[in-house]
Structure 1
Amino acid sequence: MPPLIDAAGLHGRLAAGERIVLLDVRWVLGRTDGRERYLEGHLPGAVFVDLPTELADHAQPALGRHPLPSTDRFQEAARRWGINEGDTVVAYDDSGSMAAARVWWMLRNAGVASVYLLDGGLSAWRAEGHLLETGEVSPGVGNLTLAEGRMPVISGHEAAHWHGDRVLLDARAGERYRGEVEPVDPRAGHIPGAFSAPTTDNISAAGTFLPAEELRARFAGLGVTDETPVAVYCGSGVTAAHQIVALELAGFKAALFPGSFSQWSNDAGNPVATGPEPFEGEPAIAGTGRPQTGTATGAGGSVEP
């Protein structure tokens, strides 16, 4: 099942009377006005999805800032959104699919076969001249039953060893990967062995995903091949899902580290590397952001905690 649908294709299917559940996932780190922006204008019939409360459990140092909710909790939310067995689901946002990719991944992981991202999101819909509606949409309760474990994931222990003949991609902004800034997590830097691959490089200026051949060349330049085991993390497991979409478009499968750097950096026993290379730089002292004595070593070596 391809992960994307464009605005013209979605409009045509809706105009033909096809039942499609639309999910509006308006969320950006540091902002809390997603619902207000949804109420001001959304795709006709779209239901608002609150990422912090419906697509995540409460933050826990041992699990990260946005732990995946239990299957039961997620099923309750999916039914509130009006999803029935066999429905097609299309998710979108207004931030280049960075937030909407979270629910795409979660529904795919839960066994929903027909789920798409609206490529370009709200901006693409508007650019096609299609109308928006205002106010809340409250659908009838759906009957969807969710499974679990349909998408690959890795643990923090696996992330620690995901180098050598494997590729670990850090989907955060480059300055966070290098350890120059860290606005939310307790330590700055990256998981030793990871390569910097910001999600913003997956999309065009219009917020649509780059063509498959460009994405494939991008990831090939990071060492990804058809035989390479690939895993992805970000700050809290949200935008890493966007990277998995981009990799799928490029023809590659990838696993998610759900707790991501927020989980990793909260464990003082985990090493953190800084600088532009996977193993270069000085690990940070837990909770201080200051470097400690000692440098990271290459694949097969170690990094001082």
Structure 2
Amino acid sequence: MNATITASELASDLAGPNPPVLLDVRWQLGGPDLRSAYEEAHIPGAVFVDLDSELAGPAGAAGRHPLPDPEVFGAAMRAAGVSGNRDVVVYDGGQGWAAARAWWLLGHSGHPSVRVLDGGFAAWTGPVSSAVPAPAPGTFVPAPGARPSLDADAAAALAQSGLLLDARAGERYRGEVEPIDRVGGHIPGAVSAPTSENVTEDGRFLPAPELADRFTSLGATPAVEVGVYCGSGVSGAHQVLALAVAGIPAALYVGSWSEWSQDESRPVAVGPDPQ
């Protein structure tokens, strides 16, 4: 199954005999949750999911958005109506980061059929609703480990033995600015690959062949193991999704720079070059 779905495809699926579970994961970094925007208008039947409290654990030594407790995550998904035998479609406001986080986490937790609405809510031209649904409880029980992930040591090793992509903006990779974490720069050996270059101006993914060309030019070949990190494991999930669209499997370092940079014993590289 494809990792993404278009708005027209979603409209068709919603009108069919087995409509997917819809999750609205609109989110903004460092801002209040967007539940109010959801309550004003959302795709009919969608259930709001809060990234900070339901798709991540409390910030701490493991980073700003560590993996959530499986019990907490599972309860949130069941409350949203998620079951393992029913398709799920997730969307956010259009940037794609939060939806990709939900896509990655559900897949990592063993759900077999999750897609992201390409372009998010901004791409939806169908009817909208302000009614908050009360879905029948789902039966999904997370079984973490179905998607590859990296810890800090594995990310450091992969940066030397394979290809570790840094999904943050280039100026953060180079260490010129660091608006959030303790120090700027990147994991030694990591290659700069800003997530913003995976999409068009309207937030939709580039065609799969163009994404494949992009990642191949960065060093992603069939013989190379690929990993991704970002600031806190959110935009990195979007990069893993872009790689999946291109047909390239990749692991996610969930703790990402927010975990790495907290440990003063870990090396930091600056400038445009990986080393």
Q: Sort the TM-score into its range (normalised by shorter chain).
A: over 0.9
Tell me which amino acid in the other structure corresponds to 2:79: R
* Cα distance, 1:141 vs structure 2: 1.9
Matching residue within 128, 148, 151 for 1:152: 148
- Between the two proteins, the alignment pairs up a number of residues equal to 275
Q: Which residue of structure 1 lines up, in the alignment, with residue 111 of structure 2?
A: 112
How far 1:197 sits from its partner (Å)? 0.6
TM-score (normalised: structure 2)? 0.97
Structure 1 vs Structure 2 CA RMSD:
1.2
One-letter amino acid of the structure 2 residue matched with residue 249 of structure 1? V
Q: How does 1:59-70 map to 2 (within 5 A)?
A: 59-60=59-60, 62-70=61-69
1:132 maps to 128
- In the alignment, which of 187, 190, 196 is matched to residue 191 of structure 1? 187
User: Counterpart of 1:27?
Assistant: 27
**CA distance in structure 2 between the aligned counterparts of 1:93 and 1:149, rounded to whole angstroms:** 24
Extract structure 1 runs of 4+ deviating beyond 3 A.
none
Give the Cα separation in 2 of the matches to 1:192 and 1:114.
35
Q: Residues 250-283 of structure 1, C-alpha deviation per residue, up to 9 Å, x if partnerless?
A: 111101111000000000101111111111xxxx
**Partner of residue 76, structure 2:** 77
Which whole-Å deviations, capped at 9, do the CAs of 1:81-117 have from their partners, x for residues lacking one?
1112311100001132111000100111111111100
Q: In structure 1, the residue corresponding to 2:214 is in which secondary structure?
A: helix
Contact 1:39 1:134 in 2 (8 A): yes
How far apart, CA to CA, are the structure 1 residues paired with 2:159 and 2:80?
40
CA contact (8 A) 2:33 2:50 kept: no
1:212, distance to aligned residue in structure 2 (A): 0.6
Per the TM alignment, residue 188 of structure 1 is displaced from its structure 2 partner at its CA by: 0.8
User: Where does the alignment leave 5 or more consecutive residues of structure 1 unmatched?
Assistant: 280-305
Residue 249 of structure 1 corresponds to which residue in structure 2? 245
Q: 1:17 and 1:240 mapped to 2: Cα distance?
A: 34
Give the Cα–Cα distance (whole angstroms) in 1 for the partners of residues 161 and 265 of structure 2. Answer: 24
Whether the 8 Å CA contact 2:94–2:123 is kept in 1: the answer is no
Unaligned runs of 5+ in 2: none
Give 2:220's aligned amino acid. V
Measured against aligned partners, the alpha-carbon deviations of 1:111-133 in whole angstroms (never above 9, x if no partner) come to: 1111100111111113xxx1111
**Does 2:241 align with 1:277?**
no
Shift of 1:33: 4.0
Query: Structure 1 length as normaliser, TM-score?
Result: 0.87
Distance 1:135 1:95, change over 3 A: same
Distance 1:89 1:156 in 2: 30
Local SS of the residue matching 1:117: strand
Q: Which residue does the alignment assign to 1:122?
A: 121
Counterpart of 1:205 (choices 176, 201, 206) is 201
Q: Which amino acid aligns with 2:259?
A: Q
**2:94, 2:122 within 8 Å by CA — same for their partners in 1?**
no
Higher relative contact order (CA 8 A, sep 6+): 2
- Give the whole-Å Cα distance in 2 for the aligned partners of 1:96 and 1:210: 13
The structure having more radius of gyration, on CA atoms, is: 1
- d(CA) in 2 for partners of 1:43, 1:163: 41
Q: Is the 8 A contact 2:89 2:115 kept in 1?
A: yes
| 1:23 alignment partner, SS class | strand
